[in-house]
């Protein structure tokens, strides 16, 4: 029994001694027909979260350059998230408000 307790204790030590890597996240607010901030730089693996803080207006974060279809709208109080796994520069727009309000953003992803 003592041998079993020693193994359990050793296992628990190794399990608990491992560093816990918190996923990094960044929030972009949509308000007044703007992405705030409009341009950010994040590390690979960062989750970007868009929060709609408008009273009545829907928006989108459309990455046309990635071949996505438009129309994934998020309404007041809604959230959209995306994790960036590859370095690069990612331009996006609010598809319904790009022309009328020049609503756009840029995410630079670095190692």
pTM: 0.78
Provide CB contacts within 8 A for 47, sequence distance 6+: 23, 24, 25, 26, 81, 82, 83
Label residue 94 by pLDDT band (50, 70, 90): very high
Per-residue confidence band for 9, with pLDDT thresholds at 50, 70 and 90: low
What is the fold of 21-110? Answer: Immunoglobulin-like (2.60.40)
**What are the domain boundaries of the chain?**
21-110
Q: What is the pLDDT of residue 18?
A: 47
Task: Report pLDDT digits (tens) over 68-91.
Answer: 998 899 999 999 999 999 999 999
pLDDT of residue 100: 95
Contact indicator for 39, 108 with CB cutoff of 8 Å: yes
> Residues 29-65: pLDDT tens digits?
999 999 999 999 999 999 999 999 999 999 999 999 8
Strand order in the sheet with 39-43: 39-43, 104-110, 88-93
Reference 57, options 97, 27, 28, 92; nearest CA is: 97
What lies within 8 Å, CB to CB, of 85 at 6+ separation is 44, 45
Lowest mean pLDDT among 15-24, 52-61, 81-90, 94-103: 15-24
């Amino acid at each position: 029994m003592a041998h079993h307790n020693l193994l359990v204790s050793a296992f628990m030590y190794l399990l608990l001694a491992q560093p816990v890597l918190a996923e990094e996240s960044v929030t972009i607010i949509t308000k007044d027909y703007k992405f705030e901030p409009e341009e950010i730089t994040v590390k690979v693996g960062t989750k970007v979260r868009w929060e709609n803080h408008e009273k009545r207006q829907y928006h989108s974060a459309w990455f046309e350059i990635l071949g996505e279809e438009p129309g994934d709208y998020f309404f007041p109080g809604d959230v959209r998230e995306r994790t960036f796994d590859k370095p690069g520069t990612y331009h996006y727009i609010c598809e319904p408000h790009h022309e009328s309000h020049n609503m756009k953003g840029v995410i630079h992803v670095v190692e």
